[in-house]
Amino acid sequence: MNAIRTAVFPVGGLGTRFLPATKALPKEMLPVVDKPLIQYAVDEARAAGIEQFVFVTGRGKSAIEDHFDRNHELEATLADKGKDELLRSITDDLLDPGTAAYVRQMEPLGLGHAVWCARHLIGNEPFAVLLADDLIHGDGPCLADLVATHARTGGSAIAVMEVDADEASRYGIIEPGDRTDAGIEVLGMVEKPAPDEAPSNLAIVGRYVLRPEVMELLGSQGSGAGGEIQLTDALRGLIGVAPFHAVPVRGTRYDCGTKLGFLEANVALALSRHDLGGDPRRVLRAILET
């Protein structure tokens, strides 16, 4: 049995960087090629053995519930017309009945607050957190590597990637200790450090396996940077209590929370597809040459 059974998907943010698109549409439903961001995250969780899916939602996010629910009318129409491949594309993605739960954050008070809102559904088990706007493509599911580290250590694990010095101030940066077979020991972490204060070039990516004690820490901490309840602040409280490792991301991570990262993901994933009814390379070349 997989030791990590439940994943939390915080999807309660306002997505202001994508306004006006996100005024009525959840950011996590923005499509990369033809699949919404949240579907990539759920697929990655499934590939890591996750069995229960907790979505922390907010106002205007009901499209996410509809996406993972059955649409009998559409299914019947596609079946009548013999469009079997399209029918599979909407039924293969469905979560099994009773495995998805939705909890409202009520106010977007920060990522840490969103995770805390799932506490009653998590109980006393370690759990995963996936941020759908970090899309990770290629070279095996990132979350599975964190689950494997947890299986070895019983502790927490987070995904990291190398960033340039001038980019460190956009991320949470870890202070690394020994490199072991389980990953890089985490000795500390700093949220958005000034370039000369970054303890390493290893930035935290939106994939976590956390021990349940984090919920208590989140519940008792006040707001941090930007007036929000920050997950990084609570993670710091887990260091030294039980093993805590960082695991470098294999594959490529696209920051789909920014317009350029979202564009990059769409181009990269389109180029990796052969079923788009044309040659995406030729299309892109033509645009670049005009």
Contact footprint for ligand UTP (CB under 6 A): 10-17, 27-28, 56, 105, 108-111, 113-114, 131-133, 257
Cis peptide before 20 (omega within 30 of 0): yes
Give CA–CA dist 207/184, Å, rounded.
15
Q: How far is the CB of 41 from ligand UTP (least distance, A)?
A: 9
Q: How far is the CB of 167 from ligand UTP (least distance, A)?
A: 16
Closest residue by Cα to residue 44 from 96, 89, 90, 9: 9
Eight-class DSSP state of 249: P
Q: How far is the CB of 136 from ligand UTP (least distance, A)?
A: 14
Q: How far is the CB of 168 from ligand UTP (least distance, A)?
A: 17
Dihedral through CA 177, CA 44, CA 49, CA 179, nearest 10? Answer: -10
Closest residue by Cα to residue 162 from 194, 205, 209, 132: 205
Give CA–CA dist 27/36, Å, rounded.
9
> Closest CB to ligand UTP among 56 and 184?
56
Q: How far is the CB of 130 from ligand UTP (least distance, A)?
A: 9
Structure tokens at 281: 């390379």
> Closest CB to ligand UTP among 67 and 113?
113
> Closest CB to ligand UTP among 43 and 75?
43
> Closest CB to ligand UTP among 27 and 236?
27
Q: How far is the CB of 91 from ligand UTP (least distance, A)?
A: 25
Comparing every residue's Cβ against ligand UTP, the nearest one is 13
> Closest CB to ligand UTP among 113 and 153?
113
Distances (CA, A) of 267 to 17, 36, 42, 78, 262: 20, 15, 21, 29, 9
> Closest CB to ligand UTP among 18 and 244?
18
Please report the sign of the dihedral spanned by the C-alpha atoms of residue 44, residue 45, residue 51, residue 52.
negative
